[in-house]
Structure 1
Amino acid sequence: MSTFADSRISTPSKSRRYGLFVCLMAALAGLLFGLDIGVISGALPFIAKHFVLGDRAQEWIVSSMMVGAAIGALGAGWLSWRLGRRYALVLAAILFIAGSLWSGFAPSPEHLIGARLLLGLAVGMASFTAPLYLSEVAPRHVRGAMISTYQLMITVGILAAFLSNIGLSYVADWRWMLGVIAIPAAFFLAGVLALPDSPRWLLQRNRADEARAVLQRLYANPDDAQAELEQVNDDNTRPQRGWSLLRKNSNFRRSVLLGVVLQIFQQLTGINVVMYYAPRIFELAGFATHEQQLWATVIVGLVNVLATFGAIAFVDRWGRKPILYAGCAVMAAGMCSLGFLLHAGVAGLTSQILAVASLLFFIAGFAMSAGPLVWILCSEIQPQQGRDFGIAVSTLVNWVANMAVAATFLSLLSTVGEANTFVLYAILNVVFAIFVFFFVPETRGVSLEKLGSDLMAGMRLRDLGKGK
């Protein structure tokens, strides 16, 4: 009797611990993503000096990863469907290791571009598969928070890269900055090998017993596991038919287009301009030495991490749209303020502090809203029979837009001016908020199956999930 009582008490705790382990291991893909984003900002000045590179060559080194990520995202849909979400993440981990080592030993700019293309393949595959996997294993009442852990790990990775850059900058060793990422990539590989397959993917393969076993480990109550299994079973045994569904069904085209536009707007907020070129921006703000610029980027990374906790805490309480409105307002204000300060001229300690505060204000707005919430929404709004295809397309577009922004920022600064560049990003954030109001649904607490059935029934996008 005592043993029975103890087992009943321990079961919920074990399920929570197991669910947390699964979500954290999958979200570690974001850590590697963040490391590769953050490390290049600190390594780039040393790389440019070592190889004697101009602005255009530097833009190619930065943006080559996005080319690979676009290709990786495009192929990830097929891989995750054929191999399963878990093995797609395993392949991404292997590519992370190989790309990091190649980067560290690159003998020329051409080799470095090739290595970053390989890293991009890994990032593209992981950025597609990890949110998809998390959306399929997380219980709906904490789905937003669990997917947000992916974005949190991106911010932690960026901060860790910034700190690593600081330490290694004193010996000017860009090869260690790039190559050391192979170590966490190896830990990620080991962790992913211990993950279960997605229960929804198992059901699509008619492996109901295995799906039930996974759900029983994730849910403390066997009745809850069975109820979840029954709810998703009918919807998840339908085959994936992305291209044909896109051609034949206008409702599916709406969800794909919504995911595409959300990912474009995420990049047009200006976030990766800040992350890739942070030292250059701080140079514009009056920070003269490279060490000063790197320490300033560490503060950026810390704010990025802390603000992401806000999204995790409130996304399943307040909802997606209210947080997006607040974030867009904060981002627009931060970019506009920075633009006006640069226009007036940053001279003196007070102006420098205001410029840094404006940038941090923008970072906080992104980390609490568009950063995690766009990935959440893109993993939620696609119907099951086209989910892999829809998320693959939106992820591909994310990286194409990311590449375009990264490859044009330095040229944009010299063409339209420093101040006007940041004011332009402020305007784009206002447009983003307007788009959210008219087209984005509130998905908090709604099952993926309900969202999919509403969409395919022709319900207006902003009304998906409403009613019973």
Structure 2
Amino acid sequence: MKSSESVPSESVPSETAEDQRSEPGQLTGAVVIVALVSAISGMLYGYDTGIISGALLQITEDFSIAELWKQVIAASILLGAVIGALTCSYLSDKRGRKGTLVLLAVIFAVGALWCAVSPNPILLSLGRLVLGFAVGGATQTAPMYVAELAPPKYRGRLVLCFQIAIGVGIVIATIVGASEAIGWRWSIGAAAVPAALMLALMLRLPESPRWLVKNGDNDAARAVLERVRPSGYDLDRELNETAELARAERTASTRGWSGLREAWVRPALILGCGIAIFTQLSGIEMIIYYAPTILTDNGFDTSVALQVSVALGVTYLVAQLVGLSIIDRVGRRRLTLLMIPGAAVSLFALGLLFVTGNSGRESMPLIIGCLVVFMLFNAGGLQLMGWLTGSETYPLAVRPAGTAVQSAALWGTNLFITLTLLSLITAIGVGPSMWLYGLFNVAAWVFVYFRMPDLTGRSLEEIETKLADGKFRPADFAR
């Protein structure tokens, strides 16, 4: 049971038919620009993490490094992401969502230029650590910023623009890597350009109205809503809901990091961190980071391996676009449950090819087919949920802390996988490693089935009310 000082269930009304009629029927230009900035930060995430896949082949030759340094260079951005996610929780709460994103845009640019001029693997790893800080901070802050500015009707699709942009960044990175005509320094340093654009746009955007209300500036919050909502929209209803919730939370025991320990908040934390961990254990980063390395180690030509990497990046993007177009009709929970089995089966089939010795050039179509099918089902299902759950699941008073823990869980799992995957493959082989990740997908399906309610179309306030009432199981959100 939650504390008697926690948010009372009647403090936030759920959406009624009248409420839904007052939702904006169209998006304003300001909200579209907010989504665009979030998309740029997502693209930088996808590009900065994905570019190492092809660049690592050039870096290995330039620096004459072995397997250990390959893993360190690839993983250093992930360690930085853990630090960035945890640090930016504090910054987004104290400086605001906008101020934090402005700082991250600067760090994105500095980190990209640092990596581009690094003379040795040590400084390159440190530069990627700096880049990782921006990546982790953006994944913690950008989806939350969009979710707090977007109307409920469009929140899912706008937050998922961040996820789609990750796919765009990955595709661009794989194309650049496959060209083999661009040196790795230029390809990594080029990320400074979109970072500068992100900074220019962020300086023109407003602060989150929910953050402003939380900090007692209702007049500024109203001004923001007037800017980001169409004419005729019921601003008073949204402001009153947010203000009432903020007042209750200021006097509640459930606040900040300590609030995450409250029993009534725990289901949100379990869901958010569980989804974050399974998005990584499902095998997506294994394929993105190391597909060219795995393929070349098993006899594929470098050019073929890089072309496969491009195909996987394009598949990732297409799957996410399709998922984005249907998610509000199919529902988050149902889509995820439908897609995970396909990813699991493809990994089991891929593992079987390697275990039975059918991993040579004659089996190239089957291997590529398994990789593409995995990417299709994984990117179009479970990956869509990674950032969306964090942006809409946590109560306002603990949202920065909750999203920080979720981001840290995601990046920590990613870091562990990246640091150990090549060693794991050396120890047990490619086939058994694929089977292991296939089993992780089975576990992910079980977790989603029992733990993930369908939050499609629910306002942030309604979600919080359900959580406060102890009704956060899938059956509690059935329509």
What is the TM-score with the length of structure 2 in the denominator? 0.90
Distance 1:350 1:242 in 2: 57
Distance 1:432 1:284 in 2: 29
Which residue number in structure 2 is paired with residue 130 of structure 1? 142
Displacement after TM superposition at 1:131 (Å): 0.9
Which residue number in structure 2 is paired with residue 264 of structure 1? 277
AA aligned opposite 2:452: V
SS at match of 1:250: coil
Is the Cα contact below 8 Å between 1:450 and 1:465 reproduced in 2? no
Which residues in structure 2 correspond to 1:318-337 (within 5 Å)? 318-337=330-349
RMSD (Å), alpha carbons: 1.8
Higher alpha-carbon deviation: 91-100 or 350-359? 350-359
Is the Cα contact below 8 Å between 2:212 and 2:218 reproduced in 1? yes
Is the Cα contact below 8 Å between 2:353 and 2:359 reproduced in 1? no
Which residue number in structure 1 is paired with residue 19 of structure 2? none
Is the Cα contact below 8 Å between 1:145 and 1:311 reproduced in 2? no
Displacement after TM superposition at 1:452 (Å): 1.1
Which residue number in structure 2 is paired with residue 196 of structure 1? 206
SS at match of 1:220: coil
SS at match of 2:233: helix
Report the CA distance shift for 1:347/1:341 in structure 2 as closer, same or farther (over 3 A): closer
Which residue number in structure 2 is paired with residue 420 of structure 1? 432
Q: Deviations over 1:248-303 (max 9, x none)?
A: x2111232222111111111001001111121233256422x22211111111111
Report the CA distance shift for 1:347/1:458 in structure 2 as closer, same or farther (over 3 A): closer
Distance 1:364 1:279 in 2: 18
Which residue number in structure 2 is paired with residue 29 of structure 1? 41
Is the Cα contact below 8 Å between 1:85 and 1:198 reproduced in 2? yes
Which has the larger helix fraction?
A: 1
Distance 1:285 1:464 in 2: 49
Distance 1:227 1:284 in 2: 60
Which residue number in structure 1 is paired with residue 235 of structure 2? 225
Distance 2:292 2:271 in 1: 34
Which residues in structure 2 correspond to 1:386-397 (within 5 Å)? 386-397=398-409
Distance 1:302 1:466 in 2: 35
**Match for 2:306 among 278, 282, 294?**
294
**Match for 2:170 among 158, 177, 185?**
158
Displacement after TM superposition at 1:62 (Å): 0.6
- Equivalenced residue count is 452
Displacement after TM superposition at 1:15 (Å): 4.5
Q: In the alignment, is residue 283 of structure 1 matched against residue 293 of structure 2?
A: no
Which residue number in structure 2 is paired with residue 213 of structure 1? 223
**Match for 1:254 among 247, 250, 267?**
267
Which residues in structure 2 correspond to 1:25-104 (within 5 Å)? 25-104=37-116
SS at match of 2:453: coil
**Match for 2:444 among 424, 432, 451?**
432
Is the Cα contact below 8 Å between 2:85 and 2:408 reproduced in 1? yes
Q: Deviations over 1:417-465 (max 9, x none)?
A: 1101111111111110111111111101111111112212222433454
Which residue number in structure 2 is paired with residue 3 of structure 1? none
SS at match of 2:206: coil
Is the Cα contact below 8 Å between 2:300 and 2:361 reproduced in 1? no
SS at match of 2:265: helix
Distance 1:16 1:349 in 2: 53
AA aligned opposite 2:138: A
Distance 2:300 2:388 in 1: 36
Distance 1:207 1:264 in 2: 36
AA aligned opposite 1:258: L
Which residue number in structure 2 is paired with residue 235 of structure 1? 245
**Match for 1:245 among 259, 278, 287?**
259
Is the Cα contact below 8 Å between 1:38 and 1:275 reproduced in 2? yes
Higher alpha-carbon deviation: 57-66 or 378-387? 378-387
Higher alpha-carbon deviation: 388-397 or 19-28? 19-28
Report the CA distance shift for 1:348/1:395 in structure 2 as closer, same or farther (over 3 A): closer
AA aligned opposite 1:399: W
AA aligned opposite 2:150: A
Displacement after TM superposition at 1:13 (Å): 9.4
Which residue number in structure 1 is paired with residue 188 of structure 2? 178
In structure 2, the gaps of 5 or more residues are 1-23
Higher alpha-carbon deviation: 279-288 or 105-114? 279-288
Distance 2:128 2:74 in 1: 8
Q: Deviations over 1:113-146 (max 9, x none)?
A: 1101100110010010011111111111121111
Distance 2:62 2:476 in 1: 53
Is the Cα contact below 8 Å between 2:269 and 2:402 reproduced in 1? yes
AA aligned opposite 1:411: S
Which residue number in structure 2 is paired with residue 357 of structure 1? 369
AA aligned opposite 1:260: C
Distance 1:266 1:80 in 2: 24
Is the Cα contact below 8 Å between 2:260 and 2:402 reproduced in 1? no
Report the CA distance shift for 1:53/1:214 in structure 2 as closer, same or farther (over 3 A): same
What is the TM-score with the length of structure 1 in the denominator? 0.92
Q: In the alignment, is residue 306 of structure 1 matched against residue 311 of structure 2?
A: no
Percent identity reads 35
Higher alpha-carbon deviation: 183-192 or 124-133? 183-192
AA aligned opposite 2:181: Y
AA aligned opposite 1:236: A
Distance 1:372 1:229 in 2: 29
Displacement after TM superposition at 1:229 (Å): 2.0
Structure number with higher relative contact order (C-alpha < 8 Å, ≥ 6 residues apart): 2
Distance 2:150 2:419 in 1: 36
Displacement after TM superposition at 1:186 (Å): 1.1
Distance 1:165 1:24 in 2: 25
Distance 1:17 1:350 in 2: 53
Displacement after TM superposition at 1:344 (Å): 2.5
AA aligned opposite 1:40: I
SS at match of 2:226: helix
Q: Deviations over 1:187-223 (max 9, x none)?
A: 1111221221111111112222221222223222433
Distance 2:400 2:473 in 1: 19
Q: Deviations over 1:320-341 (max 9, x none)?
A: 1111112211211221121112
AA aligned opposite 1:250: A
